[in-house]
Amino acid sequence: MESNKKSLGQWILLILNCAALCIGGTAGSLLVRFYFIHGGNRKWVNAWLQTAGCPLLILPIWISSRRKQPSAENIHITPKLCLVCVVIGVLTGFDNFLYSWGSAYLPLSTFSLLLAPQLAFNAFFAFILVNQKFSSYSINALILVTMGTVLLALHASGDRPNGVTSAQYWLGFSATGAAAALFGFILPLIELLYKKTTRRITYSLVMEMQFIMSSSATVVCTIGMIVNKDFQAIGKEARSFDVGELNYYMCLVWNAICWQLSLIGLYGVIFLTSSLLSAIFMASLTPMVEVLAVVILHEKFTGEKGMALAMALWGFTSYLYGEYQNSILQSSNMPEENGQGRESAILKEEESSLELVVEEPKSNKTP
């Protein structure tokens, strides 16, 4: 009964993290593009906002630490674990900058589709780092997503936003691809960290690790802002923002909140399941971002985007079906494996009892 309650609690926590990832990811993507199309052009500022909301984690971490019983095991992050989190955070900071660079020069609908190959990168690095297993369905999914992106790249010349040069467009195209590759490496790296650490991983510890990663990424972007003199330019940029100075600052604040909400969901999904599932879930958000970009930002939805979107959905469905078939196969083999395990245990017990019977007369001999 206790295990059932625990399982139900994990499912509820997984649903909540998926919801946080969905809401934060889609809203954050829209706010990033909103910032750039209305006069914002500071890429380091936009990258900084993607992790600058990390102070929001202080309250739940403090509440979690207060709820621990005095006799309970005091689990906190170690210096070695902290160092690894800092390294991952630095990589995240540079990935945020690449993400910001791509979103500055590409329409959101094109940008979101170009991020879809991070699923393929995630699968590749997950295979190397955490021994992720693949089936024909998962391989089919990776091929379809990659082909959709190539199709989009071949017909992307007419999709360039107004005021963006051809060189800037292809620079954004390349930066988005690099961001997808780096992010596809970071997610399995986080999963590997969870698996290799000698500490018992709890959700509270996950939040502490996320705080250190986000803080490190924020420091990297802060240095970039200082070098690029972005702090001095924020006030001027706010006054020239198309929809008003107040909306400019509101955009920045909500941008930071939404991205931190997305990160909470992302790290939670990796903790509860795997990095590959988190990447698949993010890929499944592509249709939602596509529709919202067309409805809210009035972007064009071309036939090539429709084909790429269809391939992405087809690949995602293929992967989910493969996972479903795999779960059925594992459940059907489980009773047989358990039976074999019980038989081997019985044989070992019989062998040990025979050894005792044989050795017993020896122990009764008189010298």
Residue 92 covered by a domain: yes
- pLDDT value of position 115: 78
- In-domain check, residue 338: no
Q: How confident is the model at residue 23 (pLDDT cuts 50, 70, 90)?
A: very high
Ranges assigned E (strand) in the chain: none
Structural domain tally of the chain? 1
Q: Is residue 244 part of a domain?
A: yes
Which pLDDT score, from 0 to 100, does residue 303 have?
Answer: 75
Q: How many helices (H) and strands (E) does the chain have?
A: 14, 0
242 vs 170: CA distance, rounded Å: 26
3-state secondary structure of 361: helix
Domain contains 208: yes
Per-residue pLDDT at 94: 96
Q: What is the pLDDT of residue 20?
A: 92
Expressed as residue numbers, the domain containing 26 is: 12-65+75-316
Distance from CA of residue 295 to its chain's centroid?
26
Per-residue pLDDT band for 343 (boundaries 50, 70, 90) equals: very low
For residue 181, being part of any structural domain is answered with: yes
- Tens-place pLDDT, residues 133-165: 767 777 787 788 777 766 766 665 556 777 778
pLDDT tens-digit profile of 300-338? 777 777 787 788 778 767 766 776 677 677 666 655 444
Look at residue 285 and give its three-state secondary structure.
Answer: coil
pLDDT of amino acid 145: 72
In a domain, 147, yes or no: yes
**Predicted pLDDT of residue 4:** 41
Q: Quick: pLDDT tens for 282-304.
A: 877 776 777 787 788 777 777 77
CA distance 316 to 153: 20
38-84 pLDDT tens trace: 888 899 999 999 999 999 998 888 877 776 544 444 456 788 889 99
Region for residue 365 given its phi and psi (left: phi exceeds 0; alpha: psi -120 to 50; beta: otherwise): beta
SS (H, E, C) 162-181: CCCCHHHHHHHHHHHHHHHH
> Is the residue at 247 inside a domain?
yes
Is 121 within the bounds of a domain?
A: yes
